[in-house]
């Protein structure tokens, strides 16, 4: 950029910037990546906050977005108190936006109970994100998909018959079943090797760690340019 001249201001005063369907198409992925970096920078750079806000308005182009959540559990993984660790990550339009890793408050009596607690926590987060998207008038494409690697949990969530083995998780089961019947969420089985939330529940090998980070869209800041 040796031939370029620096601008004295970040954005023109009294500007009139708006969306144009007749303008040339840009690389949507690159644009979102660049603006995403500026959003993080804006937390410590007061002078660019307004400009970043303007640029952020054109990140989605009005397209509908797919929303998915991966939930996973390391069942009784703690050797001290035998509590399970819950992990979930939310992707909007294929982009990671929110995640959490925490130890469950009580000891789960079964792996299904631990999975249900993780799924219920993910649904609560999903309802919050859905409300935010509605407030921003950003349309969603289809239902929020819950990706789980435990087929028993998915089966019990959809099965209206009360199982004796699941009496101790009835509240969580009915909460999840209610949201599924309302058409807010849908479940989908994902193999453990493709479970993106696995990185949030347990220690994994270097190879698996790099693979999971790549799938989550995380860039290695130490990689050569």
pLDDT digits (tens, 9 = 90+) for 105-146: 888 877 888 888 888 888 888 898 888 888 888 888 788 899
Cα 21 to Cα 86: distance, rounded to the nearest angstrom: 44
**pLDDT score of 223:** 64
pLDDT of residue 70: 92
Residue 166 has pLDDT above 70, yes or no: no
Predicted pLDDT at 170 = 63
Instruction: Examine the pLDDT at 165 and tell me if it is beyond 70.
Output: no
Q: All domains of the chain, ordered by start, with CATH? A: 25-59 (no CATH), 67-215 (3.30.420.10)
Q: Say if residues 100 and 81 touch (Cβ distance below 8 Å).
A: no
Reduced to 3 states (helix: H, G, I; strand: E, B; else coil), residue 95 is: strand
Provide long-range contacts, Cβ within 8 A and 24+ apart, for 128-132: 129/67, 129/90, 129/92, 129/97, 129/98, 130/67, 130/184
Structure-model confidence comparison of residues 27 and 184, the more confident one? 184
Q: Name the band, by pLDDT with cuts 50, 70 and 90, for residue 19.
A: low
- Report the share of the chain in percent with pLDDT over 70: 84
The DSSP code for 139 is -
Per-residue confidence band for 189, with pLDDT thresholds at 50, 70 and 90: very high
Residue with more model confidence, 63 or 136 = 136
Q: Pick 100 or 9 by higher pLDDT.
A: 100
User: Would you state the torsion angle of the CA atoms of residues 191, 194, 199, 205, taken in this order, to the nearest 10 degrees?
Assistant: 100
Residue 138: the pLDDT is: 80
Residue 74, helix vs strand vs coil? strand
Read off the pLDDT of each residue in 180-192 and give the average, rounded to a whole number.
88
Distance CA 59, CA 28 (A): 8
With a cut of 80, say whether residue 172 has pLDDT above it: no
Lowest-confidence region among 59-73, 127-141, 165-179: 165-179
Please state the length of the chain: 225
pLDDT at 92: 85
140: left (phi over 0), alpha (psi -120 to 50) or beta: beta
CA 76-80-85 angle, to 5 degrees, is: 35
Q: Model-level pTM?
A: 0.65
| Average pLDDT score over the chain | 80
pLDDT-above-90 percentage for the chain? 2
What is the model's pLDDT at position 20?
Answer: 66
| Closest residue by Cα to residue 123 from 199, 65, 176 | 176
């Amino acid at each position: 950029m040796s031939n370029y001249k620096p601008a004295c201001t970040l954005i023109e005063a009294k500007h009139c910037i708006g969306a144009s369907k007749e303008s040339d198409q840009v690389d949507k992925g690159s644009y979102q990546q660049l603006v995403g970096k500026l959003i993080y920078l804006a937390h410590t750079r007061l002078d660019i906050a307004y400009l970043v806000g303007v640029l952020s308005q054109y990140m989605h182009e009005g397209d509908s977005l797919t929303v998915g959540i991966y939930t996973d559990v390391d069942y009784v993984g703690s050797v001290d108190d035998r509590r399970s660790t819950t992990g979930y990550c939310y992707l909007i339009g294929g982009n990671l936006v929110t995640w959490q890793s925490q130890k469950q408050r009580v000891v789960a009596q079964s792996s299904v109970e631990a999975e249900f607690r993780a799924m219920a926590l993910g649904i609560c987060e999903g309802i919050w994100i859905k409300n935010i998207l509605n407030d921003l008038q950003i349309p969603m494409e289809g239902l929020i998909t819950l990706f789980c690697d435990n087929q028993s949990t998915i089966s019990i969530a959809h099965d209206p018959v009360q199982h004796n083995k699941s009496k101790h998780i009835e509240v969580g089961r009915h909460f999840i079943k209610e949201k599924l019947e309302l058409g807010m969420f849908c479940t989908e089985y994902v193999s453990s090797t493709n479970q993106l939330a696995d990185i949030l529940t347990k220690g994994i090998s270097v190879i698996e760690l790099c693979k999971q980070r790549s799938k989550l869209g995380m860039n290695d800041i130490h990689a050569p340019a």
